[in-house]
Amino acid sequence: MTIDLLTLHIFVVITAALVHIPFAVMGEIKHRNRFHPRKNPTLPFFRPTPTNVTFTKGQEAVLQCAVENLGTKTIVWRRASDPNPITIGEKTFITDRRFRVVHQDHSLTWNLHISRLKKEDSGVYECQVSMKKLKIRQNIRLTVDESTEYKHFKPEIKINGTFYVEKGETLKLICNATGSDYPPDAIDWFKDGDKIKSNGRVTLTNDVSLADSTIISTLAILRGHMADAGTYVCRTSDLQVTSAKVIMLNTGTNNEKRVPFVADNTGATSSTSFSQHGNKNTGSQAQQPPRQTTVLVITLFALMWLWLPHTSIS
| Cα dist from 109 to 180, 216, 239, 285, whole Å | 22, 20, 19, 62
Q: Which residue has the higher pLDDT, 36 or 239?
A: 239
Residue 167 clears pLDDT 60, i.e. is over it: yes
For Cα atoms 180, 181, 184, give the angle at the middle one, nearest 5 degrees. 75
Q: In the CATH scheme, what is the code of domain 156-281?
A: 2.60.40.10
What's the pLDDT tens digit per position in 178-237?
887 778 888 999 998 899 998 889 999 999 887 788 899 999 999 999 999 999 999 998
* 143 Cβ neighbours under 8 A, 6+ residues apart: 52, 53, 54, 55, 122
Is there a contact between 253 and 238 (Cβ–Cβ < 8 Å)?
Answer: no
For the chain, how many residues are written?
314
User: Which of 109-113, 198-202, 211-215, 249-253 comes out lowest in average pLDDT?
Assistant: 249-253
Residue 68 clears pLDDT 70, i.e. is over it: yes
CATH topology identical between 45-149 and 156-281: yes
What are the beta bridge partners of residue 138? Answer: 127
Report the alpha-carbon distance of residue 33 to residue 281 in Å, rounded. 81
User: Which of 5-9, 34-38, 39-43, 138-142 comes out lowest in average pLDDT?
Assistant: 34-38
User: Which of 38-42, 44-48, 238-242, 265-269 comes out lowest in average pLDDT?
Assistant: 265-269
* 305 Cβ neighbours under 8 A, 6+ residues apart: none
User: Which of 20-34, 83-97, 165-179, 224-238 comes out lowest in average pLDDT?
Assistant: 20-34
Q: Which CATH superfamily is domain 45-149 in?
A: Immunoglobulins (2.60.40.10)
Spans of all domains in the chain: 45-149, 156-281
Q: What is the pTM for the complete model shown?
A: 0.44
Report the alpha-carbon distance of residue 218 to residue 203 in Å, rounded. 8
